[in-house]
Structure 1
Amino acid sequence: MRFGSEPVETRVLNAVQAGVGADPRVLAAARGMSHFGEHALGWIGIGAVGALLDRPRRRRWAGVAVGAVGAHAASIVIKRVVRRPRPDDQSVQVNVSTPSKLSFPSSHATSTAAAAVLAGELTGLPLPAVLVPPMLLSRLVLGVHYPTDVLAGAALGAASAAMVRAVERKLEES
């Protein structure tokens, strides 16, 4: 069964892998990002360090971790419903192992977008613009997601961050 425009998306993967993905430094960075983002663990760590070091905003830093975990969990639920398989075309190089065979949406994109939006708002830095595009690109370089997987993951992560922030505002008001 086909999902969306897989042949077109496979061509995009081929172009990314033949372009920036052909650079061993880019491939190494993409693998590092993959390990950092696995199960949102890197973002949990960032939230925990922020909570330890920035006592006045401890709750907000905890929100970064909670937002990343919640977004990751939402992506897992959606993966199990949609059941889109990861790219399996012979022309696509898979450059990292994955915990599942399911592709849509990208959990790395989801948790990264959620954490970047929440931490960006907290710090006043443009973290979504700086952190999200490289994570999305890394999933294509590694050959483990289609472009629509990472775009949907980023949108889900941003929506998850908005929900976390709405809850935080209610807590701040009480």
Structure 2
Amino acid sequence: MLRVVESPAPPARADRSFEVTALAGVQRAIGRPPVVAAARGLSLFGEHAAGWFAAGLLGAAIDRDRRRDWLTGAVGVVAAHAASIAVKRVVRRQRPDDESVAVLVSTPSRLSFPSSHATSTTAAAVVYSGLTGRNLVPALVAPMLVSRLVLGVHYPTDVLAGSALGAAVGGLVRRRLGNRRRTR
């Protein structure tokens, strides 16, 4: 006699369930009104890398001796943002969509990986650190990455991958600026 055995439902993807749990945990732990308000401000500042591009233009206006470097840095930040958009369109990972995660800000697309905010912020921090002589990375990158989780619009790996991409692009731009200074 032929016996039909029902196969169990496929297991949930471990990375997704872990990430949803981590994301919901961040929101429960620190998602208070003042933190959410600050996260929304960072979201607005970082949208399409506009705030970081404007910071580069401000640097160019103030630091006339290195105007070209600041402008190159600002363009590098936009290039990092563009790279993240290109990766998003290839990967096509959807933003968090789980009842345990509150989405607290609107987004221009449903694509999540990598975080463009994390990419442009990290690129700006790396490049502008070289131009200011101060390590801006801890002060700028960590708050932006956490803000994307607080707002419920990215998984933890989205912000980590975005930051890695931003560090790579920012490092290339910073190296180019250093090479240009040595050849002057």
The question of a shared fold, defined as TM-score above 0.5 by the shorter chain, is answered with: yes
Distance 2:175 2:125 in 1: 16
Residue of 12, 19, 27 corresponding to 1:9 = 19
Number of aligned pairs? 172
- Whether the aligned pair in 1 keeps the contact of 2:130 and 2:174 (CA below 8 Å) is no
Partner of 1:98: 107
Distance 1:4 1:74 in 2: 28
% of aligned pairs identical? Answer: 60
Matched, 1:126 2:110: no
Instruction: Return the index of the structure with the highest Cα Rg.
Output: 2
Distance 1:19 1:131 in 2: 21
Distance 1:3 1:41 in 2: 35
Residue of 38, 55, 66 corresponding to 1:57 = 66
Matched, 1:18 2:28: yes
Instruction: Specify the code of the residue in structure 2 equivalent to 1:42.
Output: G
Residue of 92, 108, 111 corresponding to 2:120 = 111
Residue of 167, 174, 183 corresponding to 1:165 = 174
Give the unaligned 5+ runs of structure 2. Answer: 1-11
Deviation of the 1:133 alpha carbon: 0.4
Deviation of the 1:119 alpha carbon: 0.7
- Whether the aligned pair in 2 keeps the contact of 1:63 and 1:118 (CA below 8 Å) is no
Instruction: Specify the code of the residue in structure 1 equivalent to 2:122.
Output: A
Is the partner of 2:110 in helix, strand or coil? coil
Instruction: Specify the code of the residue in structure 2 equivalent to 1:20.
Output: I
Matched, 1:42 2:56: no
Is the partner of 1:134 in helix, strand or coil? helix
Q: Which has the higher helix share?
A: 1
Instruction: Specify the code of the residue in structure 2 equivalent to 1:5.
Output: D
- Which ranges of 4 or more aligned residues in structure 1 deviate by more than 6 Å? none
Deviation of the 1:64 alpha carbon: 2.6
Residue of 73, 86, 98 corresponding to 2:82 = 73
Instruction: Specify the code of the residue in structure 2 equivalent to 1:7.
Output: S
Instruction: Specify the code of the residue in structure 2 equivalent to 1:36.
Output: F
Instruction: Rate the CA distance shift 1:148–1:57 in 2: closer, same or farther, 3 A.
Output: same
Distance 2:179 2:80 in 1: 20
Deviation of the 1:4 alpha carbon: 6.7
Distance 1:78 1:121 in 2: 26
Partner of 2:157: 148
Give the unaligned 5+ runs of structure 1. Answer: none
TM-score w.r.t. length of structure 1: 0.94
